[in-house]
Amino acid sequence: MLRIENPKLADYICSGKFRISDGIDKALRILQKDAKYTFERNKDESVIYIK
């Protein structure tokens, strides 16, 4: 599950390709360079919070 807690990202649009084998963490780290957000992953609940 993904929870977006940063209202500035509500209208953020991007496109591109990522390899599934690289994982979601790598994709989020790459995107955060442009979108200026932080993220936290709760592995117990399988939730990613974007702040």
At residue 44, the pLDDT reads 82
Q: What separation, in Å, do the N-terminal and C-terminal C-alpha atoms of the chain show?
A: 14
Q: Is the pLDDT of residue 1 over 90?
A: no
Q: How far apart are CA 36 and CA 21, in angstroms?
A: 24
CA 12 to mean position of chain CA atoms: 12
DSSP letter (8 states) at residue 41: E
State both tokens at 22.
Answer: 């690289």
Q: What is the pLDDT of residues 15-34, one digit of tens each?
A: 999 999 999 889 999 999 98
